[in-house]
Structure 1
Amino acid sequence: MPAISLSPRLRKALIAVAVALLHVLAVLFLARAFAPGILPEIVEDTLSAVAFEVPAEQPTPPPVEATPVPDEGASGEQGARATPREVTAPEPKVRREAPPAPRASSTGTATRSGGAETGSGTGAGGSGAGTGNGRGGDGRGGYFVTKPVKIAGDITSARDYPRETRDLRNGQSVAIDIRVGVDGMPTGCRVVRPSPDPQADRITCDLAMQRFRFKPAMDPDGNPVVSTFRWYQRWFE
């Protein structure tokens, strides 16, 4: 048989009724024992004096619905669709071309001013036979920072030349140009101002190639470059 569950308030009321009944029974028992004649009056008075109030059952409150807790990892609602703003590209700036340089003046008879790669002018082109202002000229222009310096060798003995032509060259001189390599060694020789003795001129070039040693010329970056050294040989016998 299933147990009957009572509310706390109903349980307290039933206990109070039971206690009151016990008191009534005790009074009746004492009255019957000591005064049997007054028992009916006591019962009537006691029952009229005791009033029982049974509390009504309180209605069970409806269950409270739990508020749903949002999922923190769930995705949010879809937002409004964005509309891109129209962007206008700026107009490109027009680059102005520099006006062409005027033609250089010339005193020649040709229709061009002579700025070709090679030529026989002043040597300002890629290479030439002029004064050597260009990188490849044969002259002694401003391309070198330092000139070649002779550091060894000389021609001082009269025995280096033939005796039979001594009178022909006595008191004369010859000028030779010696080509100096990047290692300071002579690589070529030519007579630029001859003496009356052609044989002595050739001997002078041969002796310079054999005996002379140089410190090579240097370019602006400090690198040795090929250059030309001029030597004057005089005879006094």
Structure 2
Amino acid sequence: MAEQATNFSTARKRPNPWVIFAIALIHLVIFYVLIRSLAPNTVASVEESVVSAFTVTVTAPEEETPVVEPEPDEGAQGDPGREAVPQPVTAPKPKLPKKDTPKPRASSTGTATTSGATDAGAGTGAAGSGLGTGAGRGGGGQGGVAATKPVLTRAISDSSAFPIPPGGREARIGKSVIVKLMVSAEGRVTSCSVYRASPFPETDAKVCELSYSQIRFEPARDAQGNPVAAPFYYQQRFFN
């Protein structure tokens, strides 16, 4: 009788190790979750003991202290020297060439005692002899030497003709100007110049301009009483 065929194989299969490992791991996870939920303090203490067993203490190497080499001794600074004072040097005076002093030229030649004079005579050195007082050649002139000074007889009366200075007429009150006048033998002004100016140049110029027409003098006189020309210093004071 022939053997009946069967649908099942009689050969047994070997279990897969990875499947067994996975099943065991799943059971461990389930077991861990149950213990974690039922006794959490126990699980925490076990975890700490396990972690402390695998804790490794790492000690850092000690740092080496750098060796500082001492700097070389360069020596202390020396004392400063005294300031040198140069010795005064005097330059020699240059020698100047000798110059021959020219001799005065003689006005004429001869051995007479009157040599060199323009005219012979016993005069006092004038161009010619005479009885005058040095006015020129011989004659009876008075020489123009004033023995008295001119006398002021009329001053500037029209002070309104003075220009108004900066700041008004009040700025000129108390000021003055001195002009030098040349007075002729007739007692009139022939020239004018500012001798000591005031702070107002335009007013000083007006004083000279008015002196010709308004100022009058009794002329100066010589020793014989003759009128002569002479200078006069005129001071104009400003009251407005």
Report the TM-score, using the length of structure 1 for normalisation: 0.37
Greater relative contact order (CA < 8 Å, ≥ 6 in sequence): 2
